[in-house]
Structure 1
Amino acid sequence: MTIRSRRETITFKHPFHIRGIARELPAGAYEVVTDEETIESLTFSAYRRIATMITVPAEGAHGAVEMLSIGSVDLANAQAADASAAT
């Protein structure tokens, strides 16, 4: 079984919430890491998502960051809410 990681930067224009994170996060750019594993026994290459993590500012530690595990659907919901928020 092979695992790969994809990294992308996602920008939120407004402060936002993601289910599973107890605090509001400020607007800005966030690194998201998605780990995927190969699906064996197929005749073509395919992957399934096994983890999604976001790097956020650490609470109470100026300049420090922490990586938190989140659901991919929760991330998509937060992005949709940010896109539909009034500017």
Structure 2
Amino acid sequence: MTVRTTDTKVTFRQPFMLNALDTRQPAGTYRLVIDEEEIFGLSFLAYRRTATMLHIPAISIKSSRHQVVEVDPEELAAALDADALACRTVEE
């Protein structure tokens, strides 16, 4: 089985909450790791997402406590969209 991992960052400009988190998280840039596995049997190369993991706290926050939380990718996308919309509304 071929697995690939994408390591990226997401930025929230306002505090946010996700179901997988115990508490509201502060605004900041967070490390996001996405694991995908290859889908075999197709005539083209394709992958299926198997895990979306958010690293807590934000990159800029120095802490002795570090947590990796598996989050729902659709909920994360919705939270990022809501954050972007809220920031546009405040700026206008």
Query: Which structure has the highest helix share of the two?
Result: 2
Give the 3-state SS of the residue equivalent to 1:25 in structure 2. coil
TM-score normalised to structure 1 length: 0.89
5+ residue gaps, structure 1, are none
Give the 3-state SS of the residue equivalent to 1:16 in structure 2. coil
Query: Which structure has the highest strand share of the two?
Result: 1
Question: What is the CA deviation profile of residues 66-85 of structure 1, one whole-angstrom value per residue up to 9, with x for unaligned ones?
Answer: 11000100110110111111
Root-mean-square deviation (CA, aligned residues, Å) is 1.5
Give the 3-state SS of the residue equivalent to 2:79 in structure 1. helix
Question: What is the CA deviation profile of residues 22-65 of structure 1, one whole-angstrom value per residue up to 9, with x for unaligned ones?
Answer: 210000000100000000011110000010000012xxxx6132
Aligned residue in 2 for 1:74: 75
5+ residue gaps, structure 2, are none
What percent identity do the matched residue pairs reach?
40
TM-score normalised to structure 2 length: 0.84
**Deviation above 2 Å: which 4+ runs of structure 1?**
none
User: How do 1:1-87 residues align onto structure 2 when only pairs under 5 Å count?
Assistant: 1-57=1-57, 63=63, 64-85=65-86, 86-87=89-90
